[in-house]
Amino acid sequence: MKTAIIISDTHGNRTAVGKLQPLFKECDYIFHLGDVLSDVGAFRAEFQDKLKLVNGNCDLFKTGSDELVIEIEGVKIFATHGHLYSAKTTLYRLAERADELGCNIVLYGHTHIAREDEIAGIKLINPGNMTSYTPNSYAYLTVNGDKAVAKIVNV
């Protein structure tokens, strides 16, 4: 069994990100889905092997990639910020891209709205945001064999 903490759209709220540090220590993967990737800078050295970063539309210094595909215990995951796929207006383009890549799960941000959806058998997970001006949330993902379960956690 593997676990992942998924955050997105931190927009400079390093205090909120710092509160998750105990969880970062316990999990196997940490995904930051863009919009101020530098917010994990204080933890980058400690968690370098766990960190999976994708660029957002507000990331001026591109330290991640625009798309990331990772396989965890046989489950293929497509991670992206979402702005390149019109995530604010439709989720179908994200699901289509995941299908093209052979992925079962999409992790995306950009909308600041935490939600889970399923389209054509593909699970789409948005952890919400960790900004200083809205309620914060992240996603906790557990992968065990070919099963994956996500939980949106309000902070």
Instruction: State pLDDT tens for residues 36-58.
Output: 888 988 888 899 999 999 999 99
- Give the tens place of pLDDT for each residue, 83-126: 999 999 999 999 999 999 999 999 999 999 999 999 999 999 99
The pLDDT-based confidence of 63 (bands split at 50, 70, 90) is confident
Put simply, whether the predicted model's pTM sits higher than 0.75 gets the answer yes
Q: Can you tell me which residue has the tokens 């489950």?
A: 75
Q: What is the pLDDT of residue 42?
A: 82
| Model pLDDT, residue 94 | 98
- The CA-atom distances, in angstroms, between 15 and each of 18, 19, 102, 130, 131 are 5, 6, 36, 9, 10
Distances (CA, A) of 41 to 46, 54, 79, 83, 143: 10, 14, 20, 23, 26
Give me the pLDDT at residue 90, please: 97
* pLDDT value, residue 28: 98
Which region holds residue 68: left if phi is over 0, alpha if psi is between -120 and 50, else beta?
Answer: beta
The pLDDT of residue 62 is above 90: no
Pick the CATH number of 2-154 from 3.75.10.10, 3.60.21.10, 1.25.40.10, 3.30.950.10: 3.60.21.10
Please give the pLDDT value at position 72: 97
